[in-house]
A and B are shown apart, each in its own frame.
Chain A
Amino acid sequence: MEIKPVIEKWDGMISALTIGAEAKDGGSRANTVKIGGETGLPLLFKEGNIPNPPVVAYEIWDIPPQDWPEELTAPYGKALNNPFEWADKCVNEFKAKLLCVRMQGGHPDCGNKGPRECAEFISILLSRVKVPLIIIGSGDDTKDNQIMPACSEAARNERCLIGSAVQDNYKTLVASALADGHSVIAESPIDINIAKQLNILISDMGLGVERVVINPTIGALGYGLEYAYSIMERARLAGLSGDKTLASPFICFVGQESWRTKEAKSAGEQGIIWETVTAASFIQSGADLLVLRHPAAAKKISDYINELFVNKDTGQRG
Chain B
Amino acid sequence: MLVVGELINGMYSNIGAAIRERNKEAVQKCALEQIACGAEALDVNCGPASRQPLLDMPWLVETIQEVTDKTLCLDSSKPAVIEEGLKVSRNKTIINSTTADADKLDILVPLANKYKSRLIGITINAKGIPQNKDQRLELAVSIVSACQEKGFPVENLYLDPIVLPVNVAQPQMRDILESISEFKIISEPGAKTIIGLSNVSQGTIFRSLVNRTFLTMAVAYGLDSAILDPKDKELIDTLITAELILNKNIYCDSYLEAYRKK
Contacts and interface: CB of A to CB of B under 8 A. Distances in A.
A203 interface: yes
Interface stretch (A41-49, A51-59, A179-187, A237-245): A237-245
A246 B254 CA distance: 13
Contact of B262 (A192, A201, A235, A242): A242
Contact of B252 (A194, A203, A234): A194
A159 B249 CA distance: 32
A196 B253 CA distance: 9
B261 interface: yes
B257 interface: yes
A197 B252 contact: yes
Given A196-B258, A200-B258, A203-B261, A243 B250 contact: yes
A51 B114 CA distance: 36
Interface string A159-184: 00000000000000000000000000
| Size band of the interface chain A makes with B | 10 to 19
A81 interface: no
Contacts of B12: none
Interface string B214-236: 00000000000000000000000
A193 interface: yes
A141 to B, nearest CB: 20
Q: Which of B250, B251, B253, B262 gathers most chain A CB within 10 Å?
A: B250
A244 B261 contact: yes
A246 B250 CA distance: 9
Contacts of A235: 250
A235 B253 CA distance: 16
A246 B258 CA distance: 10
A196 B257 contact: no
B41 to A, nearest CB: 15
B258 A243 contact: yes
Contacts of A245: 252, 258, 261
B261 A238 contact: no
Query: Which 5 residue pairs across A and B have the least CB separation, nearest first?
Result: A196-B252, A197-B252, A200-B254, A193-B252, A245-B258
20 contacts: A192-B250, A193-B250, A193-B253, A196-B251, A196-B252, A196-B258, A197-B252, A197-B253, A197-B254, A200-B252, A203-B261, A234-B250, A235-B250, A238-B249, A243-B249, A243-B250, A243-B258, A244-B262, A245-B258, A245-B261
Interface of B: 249-254, 257-258, 261-262
Given A234-B250, A243-B262, 13 more contacts: A194-B252, A196-B251, A196-B252, A196-B258, A197-B253, A197-B254, A200-B257, A200-B261, A203-B261, A238-B250, A243-B249, A245-B258, A245-B261
